[in-house]
Amino acid sequence: MSAIEIKHSALQQFAMHGYDGTSLSLIANDVGIKKQSIYSHFTNKDELFLTILAEVIEDEKNYLLTYFSENEKLELRSKLYHFLTNSCQRYEREASMKFLLRNGYLPPSHLHGQVMDSLYSYYDEVESIVINNLQSHQPELAFPLKEVAVSYIGLFDSLLIELLYGGFERFQRRLNACWNIYWKGISN
């Protein structure tokens, strides 16, 4: 059994049950090995969790870069709006997105500092990526790029929290209520 298979199972379990609801025994059973075999790849559950967190964050950064690169020609309004709706769709189908949301907003208490350091670093990079993608649209914007980017991330966060706790319908309701107001506020 490889570390990749263990991480894949652990990602699914952490996404579904959170840190506290996931045991190494559950992961071992899922991949068909004995719990002790996990220790040949990972020192403990914390190391496995933090390894997955780092990989998920790296994948999310790559997704963001790819999304903005592939949608470079879209008008800004569509590009920003579709990123929000795509995030909801990704949450519905991808364990990595569920893992990031669940464990980002409710990290294991004993790993809180490490998780939050990783997430704040991630959000700083997200902010830079958004700013870079706003630069060519600066004439369309009513505020400085940094303010637009930070407010967009704030909108994104609020939508993700609604998705995590309220589900798709509440996410959609919040998006519908906020998007036009947000767009009118930032655009000239």
pLDDT tens string 62-85: 999 999 999 999 999 999 999 999
Q: 188: pLDDT confidence band, cut at 50, 70 and 90?
A: confident
Is residue 1's pLDDT more than 80?
A: no
List of domains in the chain: 52-186 (1.10.357.10)
**Whose structure tokens read 């991480």?**
7
Q: Say how far apart CA 96 and CA 123 lie, in whole Å.
A: 16
Question: Tens digits of per-residue pLDDT, 95-139?
Answer: 999 999 999 889 999 999 999 999 999 999 999 999 999 999 999
Q: 50: pLDDT confidence band, cut at 50, 70 and 90?
A: very high
Question: Tens digits of per-residue pLDDT, 151-163?
Answer: 999 999 999 999 9
Is residue 140's pLDDT more than 70?
A: yes
Task: Please give the average per-residue pLDDT across 160-185, as a whole number.
Answer: 95
Q: Which amino acid is at 184?
A: K
